[in-house]
Amino acid sequence: MGTERTLITGGSTGIGAALANVFAAHAHDLILVARNREKLEATGRQIQQKYAVGVTCVAEDLADRDGPRRVFDAVTERRLDVHNLVNNAGVGLYGKFATTDLETELKMIQLNVSSPVELTKRFLPSMIERRRGRILNVASTAAFVPGPWMSIYYATKAFLLSFSEAIDYELQPNGISLTTLCPGPTESEFKVRAGSQRSRLFDAFVMDAETVAKAGYDGMMAGKSVVIPGLRNKLIPVAARLMPRPMMAMLSYRAARPSDK
């Protein structure tokens, strides 16, 4: 069994599964959360066999208002201490705001914003009591700029970055660090789930989930506030500081427009 325990939301595929592998390789026991139980347990079994760490799977929908509380209750009932929390589960939705589906967007806000807020709120008291804990929130380079074609998604990530930086500062005296991981386009199921296959965003400079996860883990362990994997991605906040916001919106619009436009 591992030396400490890490809960990872969206741990069944993509960046979350890559993070689960990195934490397990460093001897962490895991609690993995996602909706599809079969997929989640398959990932859990693979990791258990490879690294001989304990893996607990909790199948829950974090886009449901009560999902985060049910995850917390399931962990508490099993008397599992959570030393590190990784809020990774998130989805996007491609399309102009006037035409996209409101219900899908409200669920996205619940998953990308309310769920990390609630899980952080619920798991923090025991970390504060132990005077030890690390939180990794997976935002995106989308957090730094307005995002036409994916306006709500970009806005959820801007919320997550702002919230996380503030809490990281507040928690410094408690010995707890909060790191925000801001990947750019990354190989995973995200693109298809978001319906953004048509977007130019994924045409070039796509990173692999393993490299992104390693950067996130290293940054979290070093207590960094913000981690941006990849040189090209690091330029985005620099450009955002230098350029007027309407110009950033125009560039984002052009970068994300459909390949045939």
Residues with a known catalytic role: 153
Three-state DSSP at 80 gives: coil
Closest to ligand NAP by CB, 91 or 250: 91
Binding to ligand NAP by CB under 6 A, coded x per residue (else -) over 46-75, reads ---------------xxx------------
Binding residues with ligand NAP: total (CB under 6 A): 28
Helix axes 67-77, 115-130, angle to 10 degrees: 30
Pick from 5, 6, 7, 10 the residue near ligand NAP by CB under 6 A.
Answer: 10
Shortest distance in whole angstroms from residue 221 CB to ligand NAP:
19
Any contact of residue 111 with ligand NAP (CB under 6 A)?
yes
Shortest distance in whole angstroms from residue 33 CB to ligand NAP:
6
Shortest distance in whole angstroms from residue 215 CB to ligand NAP:
12
Pick from 15, 24, 86, 113 the residue near ligand NAP by CB under 6 A.
Answer: 15
Pick from 2, 5, 6, 12 the residue near ligand NAP by CB under 6 A.
Answer: 12
In the DSSP assignment, the letter for residue 114 is: I
d(CA 259, CA 52): 45
Any contact of residue 230 with ligand NAP (CB under 6 A)?
no
Pick from 34, 85, 86, 171 the residue near ligand NAP by CB under 6 A.
Answer: 34
CA atoms within 13 A of residue 239's CA, in its CB half-sphere: 19
**What type of residue is 69?**
R
Q: How many CB atoms lie within 10 A of CB 77?
A: 8
Any contact of residue 35 with ligand NAP (CB under 6 A)?
yes
Q: How many CB atoms lie within 10 A of CB 99?
A: 6
For residue 5, the cross-strand partners are: 29
Burial of 78 (0-12, 13-18, 19+ CB in 10 A): exposed
Q: Which residue has the tokens 């809960």?
A: 7
Pick from 3, 27, 36, 66 the residue near ligand NAP by CB under 6 A.
Answer: 36
Pick from 190, 220, 228, 230 the residue near ligand NAP by CB under 6 A.
Answer: 190
Any contact of residue 198 with ligand NAP (CB under 6 A)?
no
Any contact of residue 118 with ligand NAP (CB under 6 A)?
no
Shortest distance in whole angstroms from residue 5 CB to ligand NAP:
19
Shortest distance in whole angstroms from residue 18 CB to ligand NAP:
8
Q: Strand locations in 169-234, DSSP E?
A: 176-181, 226-227
Any contact of residue 151 with ligand NAP (CB under 6 A)?
no
Nearest Cα to 128, choosing from 177, 94, 90, 183? 177
For residues 155-183, b (16+ Cβ closer than 10 Å) or e, as one string? bbbbbbbebbbebbeebeeeebbbbbbbb
Q: Which residues bind ligand NAP (CB under 6 A)?
A: 9-10, 12-16, 34-36, 39, 61-63, 88-91, 111, 138, 140, 183, 185-186, 188-190, 193
